[in-house]
Amino acid sequence: MDSQPLTETHDEIVRVLRDDGTPDPAVDPGLSTEELRKLYSAMVRTRVIDERLVTLQRQGRIGFHIGSLGEEAAILGSAFALRERDWGFPCYREFGAALLRGLPLQRFIDNMFGNANDLVKGRQMPDHYTCRQARWGSISSPIGTQMSQAVGFAWAARLRKDDAVALVYFGDGSTSSNEFHVAMNFAGVFRTPTVFFCRNNGWAISVPVERQTASRTFAGKGIAYGVPGVRVDGNDVLAVIAVTRRAVERAARGEGATLIEALTYRVGGHSTSDDPNRYRDKKEVDPWLERDPIERFRRHLGRLGVWSESDEDTLRAEADRQVREAIAVAEKTAPPQLETLFEDVFADPPWHLVEQRAELLRGPRAPSAH
């Protein structure tokens, strides 16, 4: 690692967990047993929730879910590397990171149902939660828009002499958006304390990375902006932590932004609306199943002797119970009140929204079925 200063871009892929299963001590972030167990638990919990939500969608009980299957190391590791004072600007695939940062599970599940307790008042699709208290951004669907916002946020922090860093998530496909360009450019010019975390999961819905860019790597795109790039094995949670920590520290020291390319793979469909068999060969997926980030990390913990079979059983049972309980509660919670439709458009509703609210309340109700 020391041979790779974060001021240039390298092609090598940073790894901690070597093929023989042993960790590379030069890169290992050196987590305590407690931290290792916490991190692993968060990854498993994320997977358990993901599986449950896909089932719910199949049963027609929620409308949509966009999951993180296979990407848990990239998502959880990066969030784990943040300090409490730092901020995350998510894309749509990082609910696991939000939960780790403090989004209450019940609130997340409320968002999946868009009920009255949903923090965004049932206004957005599932997985478009918000949680300011967790220093976590608000999610929107348009690709890339969070990037320049993360730059502006981090820039503001620096201007206010606050050493908070903003980490922003996005996918390989998102690097083609206008937003990647302008955000990286502003971050380079103004040396904002921003960490660009690119989940290179191989696909943007049905479009493979070769169709996304002719650049040799995603990390290499940093060169165009004077922002150093680094590639990391995105299925090696310890490597992700190590690399992200260095980027966060560098940013906090006032040395500017870093672009991290985490190489991972979208094992599932793009979302519950997508059937990947339409456009990719199952054979392509198989090797990635073997590189499963959770299995890999568990083997490591097993070797270290800090995780047992019974730990695993307890964790899974507990995670499953928690999510089922949250679902039961959320499903019973009423939808948001009609009035909420007109709140928060502005700080105070102007005359036209007051009139429209009255019009809606006075009128007949919509047929309830979709």
Partner 1 sequence: MPQMNMVQAINDALRVAMKKDDRIVVLGEDVGKVGGVFRVTAGLYDEFGDDRVIDTPLSEGGIVGAAIGMALYGMVPVPEIQFADFIWPAYDQIVSELAKYRYRSGGEYPCKMVIRTPVGGGIRGGHYHSQHPEAHFIHVAGLKVVCPSNPYDAKGMLLAALADPDPVLYFEPKRIYRAAKGDVPEGEYTVPLESASVAREGRDVTVIAYGAMLYEALDAAERAAQEGVDCEVIDLRTLWPVDIRAIEASVEKTGRLVVVHEAPRTCGFGAELVSLVVERVFFHLQAPPRRVTGFDTPFPYTLEMEYLPLSHRILPALLETARA
**CA atoms of 83 and 136, how far apart (whole Å):** 13
Amino acid identity at 84: E
Q: Under the criterion CB under 8 A, does residue 277 sit at the interface with a copy of itself?
A: no
Site string for ligand TPP, 130-169 (x = CB under 6 A): -----------xxx--------------------------
Q: Under the criterion CB under 5 A, does residue 336 sit at the interface with Mg ion?
A: no
Amino acid identity at 150: A
Amino acid identity at 75: I
Tokens of 351: 């005359």
What residue 55 binds from Mg ion, ligand TPP, partner 1, none (CB within 5 to 8 A, per partner kind)?
none
**CA atoms of 9 and 290, how far apart (whole Å):** 29
Considering beta carbons, is residue 63 or 104 the nearer one to partner 1? 63
Site string for a copy of itself, 137-176 (x = CB under 8 A): ---------------------------------------x
Considering beta carbons, is residue 55 or 215 the nearer one to a copy of itself? 215
DSSP per-residue string spanning 178-226: HHHHHHHHHHHHHT--EEEEEEE-SEETTEEHHHH--SS-SGGGGGGGT
Name which of 7, 17, 9, 5 is nearest 233 in CA terms.
Answer: 17
> Among 172, 179, 233, 261, which residue interacts with Mg ion (rule: CB under 5 A)?
172
Considering beta carbons, is residue 201 or 272 the nearer one to ligand TPP? 201
> Among 46, 148, 149, 201, which residue interacts with ligand TPP (rule: CB under 6 A)?
201
Instruction: Please check whether residue 53 is in contact with residue 319, taking contact to mean a CB–CB distance below 8 angstroms.
Output: no
**CA atoms of 185 and 325, how far apart (whole Å):** 45
What residue 228 binds from Mg ion, a copy of itself, partner 1, none (CB within 5 to 8 A, per partner kind)?
none
Helix (H, G, I), strand (E, B) or coil at 29: coil
Q: Under the criterion CB under 8 A, does residue 106 sit at the interface with partner 1?
A: no
> Among 4, 106, 140, 213, which residue interacts with a copy of itself (rule: CB under 8 A)?
213
Give the total of residues touching ligand TPP (CB under 6 A).
16
DSSP per-residue string spanning 292-308: -HHHHHHHHHHHHT---
Q: Under the criterion CB under 8 A, does residue 108 sit at the interface with partner 1?
A: no
Q: State the CB neighbour count (10 A cutoff) for residue 317.
A: 11
Provide, rounded to whole angstroms, the least separation between the CB of residue 12 and Mg ion.
22
Residues annotated as part of the active site: 266, 270, 279
Considering beta carbons, is residue 97 or 157 the nearer one to partner 1? 157
Considering beta carbons, is residue 201 or 271 the nearer one to Mg ion? 201
Q: State the CB neighbour count (10 A cutoff) for residue 271.
A: 18
> Among 225, 297, 307, 342, which residue interacts with a copy of itself (rule: CB under 8 A)?
225
Instruction: Please check whether residue 222 is in contact with residue 229, taking contact to mean a CB–CB distance below 8 angstroms.
Output: yes
Binding residues (CB under 6 A) for ligand TPP: these are 93, 141-143, 170-174, 199, 201, 203-205, 266, 270
